[in-house]
A and B are shown apart, each in its own frame.
Chain A
Amino acid sequence: MSEQPQSSAWSRLLRMARPRATRANALAALLALGLGFAIAAQVQQTDQSGLEQLREDELVRILDDISQEQNRLANDTRALEVTRDRLVSGADSSEEALKAAQDRLDTLGILTGTRPATGPGIVITIADPGQKVTAALLLDALQELRDAGAEAVQIGDVRVVADTWFADTDGGVQVSGETVRSPYVIKAIGDSATMASAMDIPGGVSESVRSQGATSTVDQQQSVARGQR
């Protein structure tokens, strides 16, 4: 019973598969040829997977990215060309180059604390008889100063640089391994008015210090000098 429809199905399939020289059969063969060709072409096209495969909106996005990148690089090119022209056309080009290098060295030296720095700034003195000032408070003060545009900072005798660290210790705070005791003297070079107001904002450093029972004074000075590290 179950064998009968199966065998008839196979035989029907075989009968249809026999070559018949009809126009419709030839047409069907032609269509199958086209289908096979299209499949192969499409598979190869997909394998290539270049930009041609992407849709319009994806292409637009890529184009935007490239345009922005190009603008950025063009700006870089212009800046570098200006520098090069200055170097080439300077009356004494080697002197000009030396000056540029020296400026850069000074800037980096001040930032890394390997050179003494002098300039307008503020001196913060924190008197802390109760020894309540913690490393975290000094770190907060440092961050406030940096946010306010401090270019160079010194705590006690220690120049603050990129790898400076703070730790609580008995009777004071360790700054990069050196123990700093009350009164803490923080010198910062930068825009003195901005830094002074940054220290005085509600919830800022001065208020935190007061809440710990310590006192702080902020002194704006025309010239603050800090030694090198």
Chain B
Amino acid sequence: MIPLLGLVGGVLVGLLWGPDVPLFLQPYLPIAVIAALDAVFGAVRAVLDGIFNDKVFVISFLANVVVAAFIVFLGDQLGVGAQLSTGVVVVLGVRIFSNVASIRRHLFGA
């Protein structure tokens, strides 16, 4: 409940404050957000599987964000940033969908 409130609060703060994304973060933030969402859905699934662990969630969240940003950074350095970003988004999207499917089976039995 508290993390959910945190999420909503963060969105509200972001909307009200309306900050500019710093230049050096701009290529990485979208991918990092997707990676974090993947971690969040993975955490909800873990809760329902009964294997949720706070420490695992925090570490997986941070690791996802850092690795996703690093992959995009590496892609930009290699000159394939756009393609690699697409690839990362596709992979994370597939993971999010499979997590959501598992959550759905747990909650609705379908």
A residues lining the B interface (CB < 8 Å) = 2-3, 5-6, 9-10, 12-13, 16-20, 22, 24-46, 52-53, 55-56
Q: Decide: B3 and A25 in contact? CB cutoff 8 A.
A: yes
Interface contact A16-B52, CB-CB below 8 Å: yes
* Prevailing SS type, chain B contact patch: helix
Q: How far is the CB of A48 from chain B (nearest CB, A)?
A: 9
Task: Enumerate chain A residues within 8 angstroms of B2, measured Cβ to Cβ.
Answer: 19-20, 25-26, 28-29
Identify which of B10, B30, B44 contacts A36 (C-beta below 8 A). Answer: B10
User: Nearest-CB distance from B10 to chain A (Å)?
Assistant: 2
Question: Which chain A residues lie closer than 8 Å to B15 at the CB level?
Answer: 40, 44
Tell me the dominant secondary structure on chain A's binding face. helix
Among B36, B37, B107, point to the contact of A13 (Cβ < 8 A).
B107
CB distance from B61 to the nearest CB of A (A): 5
Size class of the contact patch on chain B = 35 or more
Interface set of B (CB-CB < 8 Å, partner A): 1-15, 18-21, 23, 26-27, 29-30, 32-33, 36-37, 40, 43-44, 47-48, 50, 52, 54-55, 57-58, 61-62, 76, 81-82, 106-109
User: Which of B33, B81, B108 is within 8 Å of A42, CB to CB?
Assistant: B33
Whole-angstrom distance from the CB of B50 to the nearest CB of chain A?
A: 6
If A38-B32, A38-B33 touch, whether A12 touches B11 (CB-CB below 8 Å) is no
Nearest first, the 6 closest Cβ-Cβ pairs linking A and B are: A40-B14, A36-B10, A24-B54, A32-B6, A29-B6, A33-B6
Tell me how far the C-beta of B18 lies from the nearest C-beta in chain A, rounded to whole angstroms.
6
CB distance from B56 to the nearest CB of A (A): 9
Chain B residues closer than 8 Å to A43, beta-carbon distance: 14
B43 contacts across to A, CB distance below 8 A: 28
Verify B50–A33 contact, CB threshold 8 A.
Answer: no
Contacts of A32 in B (CB 8 A): 3-4, 6-7, 10, 40
